[in-house]
Structure 1
Amino acid sequence: MFSRDTWKEIFQTISKNKLRTFLTGFTMALGIFIVVIIVGMTNGLKNTFDEFFGDDATNTFFLFPNRTSMPYKGYKSGRRIEFDNTDLQDIKDNFAIYLEYITPRISRGALVKYKNESDNYTTRAVGPAHQYNEKTIIMRGRYINENDIKEKAKVAVIGRLVKKDLFGNSNPIGEFIDVGGSAMKVVGVFQDDGGDNEERFIYIPYTTRQLIEKSTDKVDQIIVAFKPEIGIAGALSFEKKLMAFLKDKKVIKPADPSAIFIRNVADQYEQNQQFATVLGWIALFFAGGTMAAGIIAIGNIMLIIVKERTKELGIRKAMGATPKNIIGIILLEASVITTVSGFIGMGLGVLLLQNLGVTLEDYFIKNPYITPGFAIWSTLLLVVCGVLAGLIPARRAARIKPIVALRDE
C-alpha cells in the first residue's frame, strides 16, 4: 500500500483531477483557517481584559465618600461624608485578619516647573503601599517610604513621561521641582504598564499634601487590599463588614446606598473573566461548527470522487484488488490532500494573526494569537475527521461488484 508505485499513482490522480483536488483542499484549508482566526480573535479579546484589569492589583477595594441620601439619628440627608487619617488606623486595627495593605489617595492638579520647563500634571498623595496597588515599576531612585510619611517630607516620585518633559535626558534624582508652589525633591522615576496617562502622574506623601492644605487630616479615597488567600467569598464578606463598620462610625443609616461607595475590583475582575470565558466557549462552539461543516463537505466530495472512479475501482477488483486495497488507496489520497491543505490553512491563519498586530486595538482585540499546540491539534483533528468522512464512501466502493462497476455510466 505504501509502495513507490502507490504514491506515484496518487500524485498522478491528483494532477489529473485539479478541480476536484482544489475543491477538497480549499474546503479543508478554509475550515482550519476560520478556526484559527476565531480562536485567535477570542484570545485577543481576552488579552484586552487581562491588560485592562492586570495593570492594577485585583485584590482591592476603592472606598469613596459621598453625601447621605437619608436622614439618620438627628442628621439631615445630604450631609457630606469625609474620610480622614483615623479611618486608616481604625481599618487596620479592626480588619487585620483580612488586610494585606491600605493606602489613602488624594488627587490634585498642579502646574509643575523645572528651570525653563513647565506643564500641568496630576499629583497623587499616597502611602508606600500604593506602589503595590498600581504595580508601579521604579526605574531610578526609590518610591515613597514610611519615613517620608512620618516626616511629611517634600519628596516626589515622577512618571517616566514627566521626567522626559521636564528633564529630557538628564538625571532628575536629587533635583527640585516646583509643584503648585511647593518645592519637591525628586527621589524616584517610575514607569507603568497602564500606558502613557499613568506615566504622567507625580506621587508625593499624603501627609505632605495634608500639610500643604493647612494641616488637614482629610483623604479623598481609601484603597484597601485584602489577602488573596481569603478568596472571592472572603472578599465579599470583608466588603460587607467594612461597609457596615464605616457607616456605623460615620453615623450613616445602614440602608443608605449613597453615603459611601465601594468599588470591588476583585468582583469586577471575576465578572469580566467569566464573560471572557463565555466568549471563549462561544468561539469554540463556532469553531466546532466550522470544523463539522468542513468534515461534511469533505465527505460529500469523497462521495463524488468515488462515484467518478467507479469503473476504475471495478477494474481494480477484477484484477484482484481486495476491499482493503480499495479503501486504502482512497483514504490515502484523501489524507494527502487534507493534510497538505489543512496545514496551509493553519499557516495562513497564524500568519494573518501575526500581521494584524495592534491594528484591531480599536475593536478591543489586542495581539490576537493562537498557541502552536492548539493550532496543530485542531488541524490534525480536522484532517483525521476529514479522512474518516471518506471512509463510508470508500467502504461502499470496496463492496461494489466488478461487473456492476464496469456497467456504470
Structure 2
Amino acid sequence: MFDRDRWQEIFEAIGKNKLRTFLSGFTVALGILIFTVLLGLGNGLLNSFLSSFVDDAQNIIFIRAGRTSKAYKGFQENRKIQFENEDFEFINTNYKGKVEYSTPRIYRNGQAKYKKESGSYTIIAVNPEHQYLEKTIMMKGRYINENDIIDKTKNIAIGRLVEKDLFKNEDALGKSLDIDGIAYKIVGVFQDSGGDNEERIICMPYKTVQLLFGNNEKLDQINLTYNMAMNTEQAIAFSKQIEEDFKKKFDVAPDDQSAIRVRSFAEGIKETMVILGGIYLVIFVVGIGTLISGIIGIGNIMTFSIKERTKELGIRKALGASPRSIIAMVLQESVLITSVAGYIGLILGMLSLRLIGNNLEEFFILNPKVETGVIVVATITLIFSGLIAGYIPARRAAKIKPIIALRDE
C-alpha cells in the first residue's frame, strides 16, 4: 500500500491522462457537491420545523375552540364554542395514562407598572404543569404552584425581560407589581428559549383570573402532552380521539373543521417527514446518478490507461509480478482519483452550506448543514466507488499474457 515505487507509477499514469482524469474527477466532485448541498438544505428544512417548537414540549397537543361552520342537532351554524373548567377536568378524568401534563390557558393583555416604569404585556393564566409544556426555566424563585390555584392567590411569575424592562437593575423577586390597578406578588422570574416574546409574558393562576375578571369558569384553550410511550401513529390517533370526543361533548358535526381544532406535534412530524422523505429521495437519486457517471468515467480512464500500458504490464508479469499485485495497483489508482475528487466536492459543498448560513430563512431553511455521520458514510462510499470503478480494468490487466503484451505496438 505504501510502496514508494508504486505511488510514483500511479502519479505518472495519472499525469499521462490529465484531461481525462480531470473530467472524470470533476464528475465525481460535482456529484458529491450537489449531494452535500441538497442534503444540507433538506436538513435546514427539518431544523426550521423543529425550531417552531423549540420553546414547547415536543409531545404537545393544542385544543382550541372556534365557531361552528355547520348547523347540527338543532344548533345554528356560527355558534361559539366555549371551554370551561369542566372540560379541562374531562381531559384529566377520561384520558388517564395517556396524558403526561395538562394545563388550561386564558389570555389577556395588561398594563404593568412598577414605580415610574410601565409597559403592556401578555398575561397567560395557567396551572403549574404549564411550566413543563413550555419548557420554562426558572431563574429566580418558583413557578405557579397548586396552592396558588386552590387559594386563588395573586402570585405571579414574570419573564426575564419583564424584570429587565420594569425593574432595571433591581431584583424583582418578592416585589409587588401593579397590573391594571391590582397588586400582584412576584414569586418567580423565568427564561424561555422561544425568544423575546416568550420572555415578555406574565403567568398567573388561572382561577385567580377567572375570579378577578368575570367570576366565571371560562377557558380560552387547553394544552396537554401525551405519554411519550406512544409512537407517532398512536399519538395522532389519540389527538383524533380527543377531537371526536369534544365534538360529541359540544354537539358539533363530525366534519366541522372550525369548531374544535386539535393539533399535535406528532401530526407535524409526520407531515414533515413525508415531505422530507420526498426531498431526500430526490437527493439520493441525483447524488447516486452523478456518482455512477463519475464511476463510469473513471472506469474508462483506467481501461484507457491499461491499454496504453499493455507492454509495461507484460514486462511486469514476465519478471514475476503476480496478478494480485497488478490488480492492487490499478485499484489503488482508481480509489485515489475517486477519493480525492469526492473529498474536494464534499469540502466545497460544506463551504457552500456555511456561506448560505441562515440567508435562506425566508424559504424555511434554517442552519443547513451535514452531520459527521454523513462524512463517514461519504468516505466509505467513495472508497467503495473507487474499487468498483477500477475492478473490471484491474481484472483485464491481470489477465494480460506477457508474450502477447510484448508484441503490442
Please, what TM-score do these two structures have when normalized by structure 2?
A: 0.85
CA distance in 2, matches of 1:239, 1:377: 38
Quote the offset at 1:336 in angstroms.
3.0
Indicate the larger mover: 379-388 or 16-25.
Answer: 16-25
Provide the residue aligned with 1:361 in structure 2.
Answer: 361
Question: How high is the sequence identity, in percent, across the aligned residues?
Answer: 50
Partner residue, 2:187? 187
Post-superposition offset of 1:145: 1.0
Structure 1 unaligned residues grouped into runs of 5+: none
| Between 18-27 and 372-381, the greater mean CA deviation after superposition | 18-27
Which position in structure 2 is the counterpart of 1:53? 53
1:166 offset after TM fit, Å?
2.5
Can you give the 5+ residue segments of structure 2 that lack an aligned partner in the other structure? none
User: 1:225-266 deviations in whole A, cap 9, x for unaligned?
Assistant: 332334455545544554454444444455655432222333
Aligned to 2:329: 329
In 2, Cα distance between the equivalents of 1:44 and 1:236? 25
Q: Secondary structure at the match of 2:199?
A: helix
Q: How does 1:167-316 map to 2 (within 5 A)?
A: 167-232=167-232, 234-252=234-252, 256-313=256-313, 316=316
In the alignment, structure 1 residue 124 sits paired with structure 2 residue 124 = yes
Q: Contact (CA 8 Å) 1:28, 1:294: kept in 2 or not?
A: yes
In structure 1, what is the Cα distance between the partners aligned to 2:13 and 2:73?
92
Compare 85-94 and 347-356 and name the one that shifted more: 347-356
Closer, same or farther in 2 for the Cα pair 1:165/1:331, shift >3 Å? same
Map 1:76-87 onto structure 2 (within 5 A): 76-87=76-87
For residue 42 of structure 2, what is the aligned residue in structure 1? 42
Q: Structure 1: how far apart are the matches of 2:274 and 2:235? A: 17
In the aligned structure 2, how far is the partner of 1:3 from the partner of 1:186? Answer: 75
Match of 1:378 in 2: 378
- Per-residue CA distance 1:333-380 (angstroms, 9 max, x = gap): 333333334334334434444454433433322233323233133223
- 1:199 partner letter: E
Between stretches 247-256 and 131-140, larger displacement belongs to 247-256
TM-score, structure 1 length as denominator? 0.85
Tell me: CA distance 1:258–1:23, structure 2 relative to 1, closer, same or farther (3 Å): closer
The 1:253/1:340 distance shift into structure 2, 3 A limit, reads: closer
Secondary structure of 1:228's counterpart equals coil
Bigger Cα displacement from structure 2, 134-143 vs 170-179:
170-179
My pick for the range that moved more, 238-247 or 90-99, is 238-247
The residue aligned with 2:63 is 63
Question: What SS does the aligned partner of 2:186 have?
Answer: strand
Match of 2:163 in 1: 163
Matched residues in 2 for 1:403 and 1:107: separation? 92
CA contact (8 A) 2:236 2:266 kept: no
In structure 2, distance between residues paired with 1:81 and 1:232: 29
Partner of residue 346, structure 1:
346
Structure 1: distance between partners of 2:54 and 2:147: 30
Cα distance change, pair 401–230 in 1 and its aligned pair in 2 (3 A): closer
**For residue 10 of structure 2, what is the amino acid of its counterpart?**
I
Question: Shift of residue 53 of structure 1?
Answer: 3.4
Q: Aligned pair in 2 of structure 1 residues 347, 65: CA closer, same or farther (>3 Å)?
A: closer
The 3 A distance-change label for structure 1 pair 401 and 73 is: closer
Q: CA RMSD in A?
A: 3.2
Match of 2:286, SS?
helix
- The one-character-per-residue Cα deviations of 1:371-397 (angstroms, maximum 9, x if unpaired) are 323313322322332233123233334
- Sort the Cα spacing of 1:255 and 1:400 in 2 relative to 1 into closer, same or farther, 3 A: closer
Partners of 1:18 and 1:242 in 2: how far apart?
68
User: What's the offset of the Cα at 1:92?
Assistant: 2.5
Amino acid at match of 1:6: R
In 2, distance between residues paired with 1:57 and 1:120?
A: 27
CA distance in structure 1 between the aligned counterparts of 2:208 and 2:73, rounded to whole angstroms: 35
Q: CA deviation at 1:105?
A: 0.8
Tell me, in whole angstroms, the C-alpha distance in 1 between the residues paired with 2:193 and 2:267. 22
Paired with 2:317 and 2:253, the residues of 1 have a C-alpha distance of 91
**Matches of 1:404 and 1:132, distance apart in 2:** 80
